[in-house]
A = this chain, B = another copy of it.
């Protein structure tokens, strides 16, 4: 019964909450994917970003964003209250640390979207965060060339890999890559949920300290 008991001990632990970071290039559809995830009614905490951008009609304080003044935002940075922040089109955006902590302490998985630079920052702060890279399958020339590379000579392949090295440097910080083409948003969400489900069954769970 030894194995039963040891495994039961793993099972009996409340699942370690995950910090799920959804990133990818601008325009890849991160917001759409997050919206669809929210519609599934799952017990995740979706991080609400703080921003200095003026509220737009229809936007709800504390739901779409926390709308804060410039000085208030700078104070939050000063006090280390944001785990990540960026200046986007002259507006500040930042991710409140305490919000994430509180949700994780209550046992909830936390889901957030950030750009690739932000993902890098979070990965260095919390190496155990679960980083998912959303990608689109584009049809440009480079993509077509890369698709063909399996039939190329070793020398050609090497050249292309060297050229892709810098780009791949970004990818290496991520754990998973998920395709989000126009027709596949629901599939992308399914895959993300499968990843989260799987990660909750790891023998060695991720333990995030923020």
Contacts and interface: CB of A to CB of B under 8 A. Distances in A.
A8 B203 contact: no
A209 B5 CA distance: 33
A11 B177 contact: yes
Interface string A177-200: 111000000000001011101110
Number of copies: 2
A41 interface: no
Decide if the interface of chain A is mainly helix, strand, loop or mixed. helix
Contact of A5 (B5, B143, B191): B143
A174 interface: yes
Interface string A155-174: 00000000010111011101
Contacts of A105: none
Given A12-B143, A12-B147, A203-B171, A5 B176 contact: no
Interface of A: 1-13, 24-25, 28, 116, 133, 135-138, 140, 142-143, 146-147, 149-150, 164, 166-168, 170-172, 174-179, 191, 193-195, 197-199, 201-203
